[in-house]
Amino acid sequence: MVKQREFSEKEKDDIRTLMKFVRIYCRENHHVEKTSFSFKLFDIKEIEKKEISLCPDCARLLTYGLTMRLKCPHVPKPMCKKCETQCYHGDYKSKIREVMKFSGMYMVKHGRVDMLYRYFV
């Protein structure tokens, strides 16, 4: 695995949040066969201590989301919905919104309000 660069704490934070949201969404909605998620730009286990298993669709969405997050040209990253770049397009945009909404609500119901507004697309 080639290490491209070090990630800032803020980036790692966003990566963790994104993974958490997609993981909850997939776990609660997709009851199909899942595989362990891996990403080419970094070792997941360096950032999140546990492995995450996703269905093929969610794996694709998370790969896209992580790629876009790491390519984000703005420092600090603004809230995605207020950003002029709008890197999520088409299906990915509606899908990530659905994921954020579902998992956001899930966290509220389970007392994780602190997670809610930190990464809102």
Joined together, the tokens standing for residue 33 give 């066969």
Q: How many CB atoms lie within 10 A of CB 83?
A: 15
C-beta of 83 vs 106, nearer to Zn ion = 106
Among 15, 18, 26, 115, binds Zn ion (CB under 5 A): 26
Residue with tokens 């934070």: 13
Phi, psi of 42 (to 5 degrees): -160, 165
Query: Is residue 44 a contact point for Zn ion (CB under 5 A)?
Result: no
C-beta of 7 vs 18, nearer to Zn ion = 18
Among 55, 70, 87, 116, binds Zn ion (CB under 5 A): 55
Count of residues interacting with Zn ion (CB under 5 A): 4
In sequence order, what DSSP letters do the residues of 26-48 get, joined into one string? HHHH--S--EE--BTTB-HHHHS
Query: Is residue 58 a contact point for Zn ion (CB under 5 A)?
Result: yes
Applying CB under 5 A, the residues found at the interface with Zn ion are 26, 30, 55, 58
